[in-house]
Amino acid sequence: MSLRSLALASLATSLALAGLPAHATSANPLSVHVLNLQTGEPSAGIRVDLERRVGTDRWQPLGSGVTNAQGRIPGLVPADALPSWSAGEYRVVFRTGEFYAQQKQASFFPEIPVVIRVDSAQQHYHVPLLLSPFGFSTYRGN
């Protein structure tokens, strides 16, 4: 077995042991990251839902994930939705109320919906969320 093959096998094993979902690949067009402004640390364990706008007033669920120990979901678009990923409006919903309830901490926002416009299905989009119990900020990252 070549050194390259060993390295690839090791990487695949590491990803499997880390429990990354099948859709968390480098080719995934959407990632998120949540940082806790109160503690200065990543926010692990936040459920994040992804939806696509259909028509003018309806949202179609595409999938969801949970932030890892680094506060990230490296690939939010599920593998079965990748072939239909296209330009349009998408909603990323951070379920912050669940997160703070588990920590037995009061918070003002039960969820934080962030609507984004995807202009090109070939680009990667990154949505960071800076979070505290009573405020948040977000922007387009890279």
In terms of residue numbers, what domain contains 35? 3-138
- Is 47 annotated in a binding site? The answer is no
pLDDT at site 95:
98
- Is 100 annotated in a binding site? The answer is no
22: Cα within 13 Å, side-chain hemisphere: 6
- The CATH number of the domain holding residue 102 is 2.60.40.180
Angle at 82 between CA 86 and CA 33, to 5 degrees: 90
What domain count does the chain have? Answer: 1
What does the longest C-alpha to C-alpha distance in the chain come to? 55
Contacts of 81 (CB under 8 A, 6+ apart): 62, 63
Averaged in consecutive runs of 10 residues, what is the pLDDT profile of the chain (142 residues)? 41 40 65 95 97 94 97 97 95 97 95 97 96 96 88
pLDDT at site 27:
84
- Is 23 annotated in a binding site? The answer is no
